[in-house]
Amino acid sequence: SLSRSLPLSLSLLLTAVSLSLSLDVTLIVCPGIGNSSETVALRTFSHHANEHGLRVAVLNHLGVIPDIALTQPRIFTYGRGLFPLFQHSAAPMRVGSKPSLAGSTEEYGAMVREVESMYPSSQFVAVGFSMGANLVCKYLGEDEQHRSKFLAGISCCQGYDIERSALRSSNL
Express each pLDDT in 128-162 by its tens digit. 998 899 899 989 998 899 899 899 999 998 776 66
Let me know how long the chain is: 172
Query: What's the rounded Cα separation, in Å, for the pair 61 and 78?
Result: 10
Q: What's the whole-model pTM score?
A: 0.70
What does the mean pLDDT of the chain come to?
Answer: 75
How far does the chain reach from its first CA to its final CA, in angstroms? 46
Which amino acid makes up residue 31? P
| Distance of alpha carbon 94 from the chain centroid | 31
Pick from 35, 28, 98, 91: which is nearest to 63 by CA? Answer: 35
